[in-house]
Structure 1
Amino acid sequence: MSPSTLSRRDLMKWGAAAATLGTPLPYAFAQSALPKGPITLVVPFSAGGATDVVSRLVAQKLSERIAHSVVVENVAGGGGAIGAAKVAKAAADGSTLLMGTVATHAINPLSTPPSPYDAQRDFTPVSLVATVPNVLLVSSSVKAQNVRELIALIKAQPGKFNYGSSGVGTPPHLSGELFKSMAGVDIGHVPYKGGGPAMTDLVGGHIPILFDVLTGAASHIRAGAVRALAVTTSKRSPSFPDIPTLAEAGLPGYETYTWNAVFGPAKLPRPLVDLLSRELQAVVAQPEVQAKLKDLSATPVGSTPEVLDALVKSELDKWGAVIKSIGGLKRE
C-alpha cells in the first residue's frame, strides 16, 4: 500500500514559504472584505477535544488580527459529517467556515454512502493549520520493544493479537489497517467509542496494541503507562524526538497523520479566500500559537489554499485505496 505522495515535509515547507507575516490588517480594509456579521467557525466535533482546542485558539487569534468577531460553534455527530454538511450548505459570504480534518474531507466521504457532501466540490480550501501524528502503542505485557520485534511476534502467533482504535473509520483505525497491509500481519481490529476507553483497556492490559492520536496518548506515554513504538508521520514528532517513525522502524514508505484545516463553502470569493488564508498563516506563525500547538503534539503548518487542495486530493486517493482493501467501512 503506497502512502500519499504529498509529504508532511512538503506541506511544512510550502506553508512556511507562503506565509505573509506582519501586523494585523487595518480595520477598514478588513471590514470591507469580510461579512457584515460575525464569522462562525464550525467545529464538527464535541467541545473539549483536540480539534476544538485548536479551533478556539485559532478563532481568538484570527479575530484579533482582522478586527472582526470569530466565534466557535460545535456541531458534533456523524464522525464530523453533520458539521461539515452544515458548512457545505452555508452562504458563500465568509460568515460560516469549517475546521475540517482528515475525517471530514477523506474518510467520511469515502465510507459513508451516500455522503451528504462532496469533499472537493462543496468546499473552498483556505489554509492548513496543523498536522498531528498517530502513534503505535503496546501494553506493558507485550514483550516487543520495537516495531520489527512486534511484527515478528504477531507473525509467530497469527490470529492471537488484536489492536484497538477510537472507532471504525477513524484515522487511528485506518492507520492500523495500513500497518496490517504493509507489514503483512494477521491482526484483528477492536473498535472503541473514543480514544479514552481504548486507552483504558490498553493500560489495563485488556488489549495488547493500540493506534491512537498522539495528542491523546501523550500524557500516558510520559507517565510510562504504555510503550510507544513508533509515530505514523514521515518525520519524528518534536514532542517525542526519541520515538522513531514507522517508516524508519521497519515499514519504509509508511505515513499517516491527522490534520486540522480551514474550509469555506464552495464559491467563496477569491479576494476573501486570499485574505483569510494570509491571516491564518500569520496566526499559525505567532510564537504563542506555535507553542500551544506543540504542547498538543501538533506540528504548526499554515498553507496556501492550493496546498490544502492538493492535500485533500492526495488523502482521498490514499484512504480510498485503504478502505477498498478492507472491503469498505460499516459504522455502528
Structure 2
Amino acid sequence: MTHPHRRRPLLALAAAFALSPLAAAAQGSAHYPERPITFIVPFAAASATDQLARALGQSITEQTKQAVVVDNKAGASGMLAAQAAAKAPADGYTVLITTNTTQAANEHLYKKLPYDPVKDFLPVTGLGKGGQVLVARANAPYKTVADVVAAAKAKPGKLSFGSGSSSSRVAGEMFKQLSHTDILHVPYKSNPNAVTDLLGGQIDLMITDTATGMPQIRSGKLRALGYSTQKRSPLLPDVPTLDEAGVKGYDMGYWFAAYVPAGTPQPVVARLRELLLNATRGAAAKAFFDTAGAEAWTTTPQELAQFQAAEAQKWGRVIKAAGIDPE
C-alpha cells in the first residue's frame, strides 16, 4: 500500500501533467485532424509535386472526412513556400509537401535563404522518388549517350542543354562532370519551356523529369537516351541508365517528402505520418506514381532527416564542382 504522504507528490505530478502543454498536445492528437489541413506546395498547379499533393490530400480526406487544401506558392525556387511553411503555427495543420529543391539544393544555390531547411522543420516521411531522362530531338544525330559524349568532345562548348529546375540543372552539370565534357547551359523558368525550345531546335539536349518528358517521347518527337537513376524506369524499360550507358557513377534522382514546422507536437507528427503512409498506398497516389514514372518511398522521421543530410552534401558537391556560384 502506498503511504498517503508519498501519494501526494504523485497526485500533484499527475495534476501538473494534466495542465501541461504536452498533455494538451497528446489530447489534441487523439482527435487530429479536427479541421481542414493545408498542404503548401512550392511549385505551380499541375507540376509533379502538386499532382502528388492533391492525390495524397484526396486520400487523407477519405480517411478523416476533413478537407485538405492545396496552397501553391510557386516562385523563387520554392523559397516562398518553404518560408511560409516555416512560419506557420506548429500544430500539424500546415504541411510542406516538397522536394530536394527546397530541402537539399537551395542552400548551395543561394547565398541567403529566408528559411533553414533543417532547423525550421520536423521531417514527417518521404513520399516518393523519381528519375529524369536525357532527351534529344528525334531527328538529332545522337542515337545513344556515347554519341552525345563523342559530339561534345569533338566540339567543346558547342552543344547546349536546357534546364527549368534545380534537379534538371544539377543533373546536366553532373553529366558534364562525369562524362568530362563541356556543354553550354541554358536556363529556363520551368522544364516545359525548355522542352519547347528543344523541340524547336534552340537547344540540343536536356535532362528532364519523366512526368514532363514522357508525352513527347511517346509521341516520337523526343528520343530518350539515358535514365538518371541507377535503376531503369518502368516507363522506359529499353532505355539504359546513364551509368549503364558509360557515364559511370551517374545517379541523380529527385524526391518528394513531407515536413511540418519545428515544434509540432510528436503525437500529431506520428498521426500525420500514419495518414500519409496510408495515402501513398491509395489509388490516387498509385495512379500518379504510375503516370509520372515515380515510386512511393516512405521513411521514419529519423530516416528522412539522415537522407536529407546526405542529399544536401551530394547536391552541394555537384554544385560546387560545377562552379555554380550561389546567387
TM-score strictly above 0.5: yes
Q: Runs in 1 of length 4+ with deviation above 6 angstroms?
A: none
CA deviation string 1:12-63 (max 9, x = no partner):
xxxxxxxxxxxxxxxxx99624254321111112212221111111111012
Instruction: Specify which of 282, 296, 300 is matched with residue 300 of structure 1.
Output: 296
1:176-255 residue pairs with structure 2 within 5 A?
176-255=172-251
Instruction: Specify which of 172, 175, 184 is matched with residue 171 of structure 2.
Output: 175
Q: What code does the residue aligned with 1:290 have?
A: K
1:1-332 residue pairs with structure 2 within 5 A?
32-34=30-32, 36-166=34-164, 170-329=166-325
Q: Which runs of 5+ in 1 are unaligned?
A: 1-28
C-alpha separation in 1, matches of 2:303 and 2:235: 25
Structure 1 partner of 2:23? none
Q: What code does the residue aligned with 1:66 have?
A: T
> Offset at 1:151?
0.8
SS of residue paired to 2:258 = strand
Residues paired across the two proteins, number: 301
User: In the alignment, is the contact (CA less than 8 A) between 1:166 and 1:191 conserved in 2?
Assistant: yes
CA deviation string 1:200-243 (max 9, x = no partner):
12112221111111110100001110111111111111111111
User: In the alignment, is the contact (CA less than 8 A) between 2:42 and 2:74 conserved in 1?
Assistant: yes
CA deviation string 1:258-311 (max 9, x = no partner):
221111011222222222112211211224421332112221222222222122
User: In the alignment, is the contact (CA less than 8 A) between 1:41 and 1:98 conserved in 2?
Assistant: yes
Greater C-alpha Rg: 2
Let me know the Cα RMSD of the aligned residues: 1.8
C-alpha separation in 1, matches of 2:138 and 2:43: 32
SS of residue paired to 2:238 = coil
TM-score by length of structure 2 reads 0.87
User: In the alignment, is the contact (CA less than 8 A) between 1:33 and 1:272 conserved in 2?
Assistant: no
User: In the alignment, is the contact (CA less than 8 A) between 1:55 and 1:99 conserved in 2?
Assistant: yes
Q: Which runs of 5+ in 2 are unaligned?
A: 1-26
Q: What code does the residue aligned with 2:87 have?
A: K
SS of residue paired to 2:244 = helix
User: In the alignment, is the contact (CA less than 8 A) between 2:42 and 2:75 conserved in 1?
Assistant: yes
> Offset at 1:82?
0.5
Q: What code does the residue aligned with 1:149 have?
A: D
C-alpha separation in 2, matches of 1:51 and 1:87: 16
User: In the alignment, is the contact (CA less than 8 A) between 1:30 and 1:66 conserved in 2?
Assistant: no
- Percent of pairs with identical residues: 38
> Offset at 1:144?
2.2
User: In the alignment, is the contact (CA less than 8 A) between 2:178 and 2:249 conserved in 1?
Assistant: no
> Offset at 1:121?
1.2
User: In the alignment, is the contact (CA less than 8 A) between 1:102 and 1:259 conserved in 2?
Assistant: yes
User: In the alignment, is the contact (CA less than 8 A) between 1:277 and 1:303 conserved in 2?
Assistant: no
TM-score by length of structure 1 reads 0.86
User: In the alignment, is the contact (CA less than 8 A) between 2:92 and 2:272 conserved in 1?
Assistant: no
SS of residue paired to 2:52 = helix
C-alpha separation in 2, matches of 1:74 and 1:109: 21
C-alpha separation in 1, matches of 2:284 and 2:126: 18
